[in-house]
Amino acid sequence: MRVTFCCTDTASEPWLQGLRAALPGTDVSLWAPGTPPADYAVVWAPPQQFFDEQAQLKAVFNIGAGVDALLKLKLPSQALIVRLDDAGMSVQMAEYVCHAVIRHFREFDAYEADTRQGKWSFRKPRDRADFPVGIMGLGVLGERVARSLAQFEFAVNGWSRSSKAVDGVQCFSGAQGFQDFLAASRVLVCLLPLTPDTRDIINRDSLSSLQTGGYIINVARGAHLVEDDLLALLESGHIAGATLDVFRTEPLPAGHPFWTHPKITVTPHTSARTLRSESIAQIAGKIAALQRGEPVAGVVDRGQGY
């Protein structure tokens, strides 16, 4: 059995060593043009040439949660595309989103601004019931975030393409439930996969449908957000602020208005990073299962895009 590794901007040797240890007896190698055909591939942002040369692959393991960039390439028709189920990302995502929600709700950003000026200030405590949180996307990451926020006694709404049930979460689904979901939410968290249907989903219409004083947290993909629409709604006062971890162009270009906007917090696509050891264990387990002819979780539906 052969496994090939092709991950752009990723230190390859620790991954190769880990995969060899987890898959004893397997030929694990770094891909280069002309590399012999492999059975399985571990990839991140591979070039089209990779798939042109590796047309016989049985399965391709993507080391990030999102597969939108991968699905833009011409892939072998028989190859399963397998995404990581979690690999340590869900707890990181829950930390990030809970921090952003609580920082806004408790006005810690305003306190920080005051203390930098040497100002001892007081703000009247807000009512938690006035800050219902809406989670767009109830996959592995979204469900973990929703459950974590519920532990802080926020009212949590969830919206997904198909109907789901999550304890402690008011769930909405489909196009018919989207407007009701937005109207029930003041804080909006995007954890959707990027597909043609979800591109630009955070726009003037959806932002305007949130409760007044809405707050946006985008930890999915930059293309979900229409940037000018957010800026306009911030200017109008309907949206109170945003925490953004993902952007249409990354790194965020110098001079972009998000850098200096007083109501926007920017982080450099760091809300949830792939943890190598957990990812390797998951990939090795799934390769072993596929070799035994068993189904595995995380197989991407190419038609749906996730």
Residue 221 bears catalytic tag: yes
Backbone angles phi, psi at 199, to 5 degrees: -60, 135
DSSP sequence for 27-68: EEEE--TTPPP-SEEEEES--HHHHHH-TT-SEEEESSS--T
Find the catalytic residue in 221, 261, 276, 302: 221
60: its two tokens: 């391709």
69: its two tokens: 């960039």
Q: Which of 7, 299, 2 is nearest to 15 (CA)?
A: 7
Instruction: State pTM to two decimals.
Output: 0.91
Find the catalytic residue in 20, 161, 269, 276: 269
Residue 2 bears catalytic tag: no
Instruction: Report whether 89 contacts 274 (CB < 8 A).
Output: yes
Give the strands of the sheet with 2-7, arranged side by side. Answer: 27-30, 2-7, 40-44, 59-62, 80-83
Using pLDDT thresholds of 50, 70 and 90, give the confidence band for residue 66: confident
Q: What is the pLDDT of residue 54?
A: 98
Using pLDDT thresholds of 50, 70 and 90, give the confidence band for residue 192: very high
CA distances from 209 to 24, 37, 187, 293 (A): 54, 52, 12, 48
Mean pLDDT, all residues of the chain:
96
Using pLDDT thresholds of 50, 70 and 90, give the confidence band for residue 87: confident
Residues 217 and 221: their CA atoms lie apart, in Å, by 11
Instruction: Write out the H or E segment, with its range, that includes residue 129.
Output: none
Omega within 30 of 0 (cis) for the link into 251: yes
Cβ density class 269-304: b for 16+ within 10 Å, e for less:
bebbebbbeebbebbbebbeebeeeeebebebeeee
Instruction: Report whether 64 contacts 281 (CB < 8 A).
Output: no
Instruction: Write out the H or E segment, with its range, that includes residue 12.
Output: helix 12-22
pLDDT digits (tens, 9 = 90+) for 203-214: 999 999 999 999
Instruction: Report whether 40 contacts 287 (CB < 8 A).
Output: yes
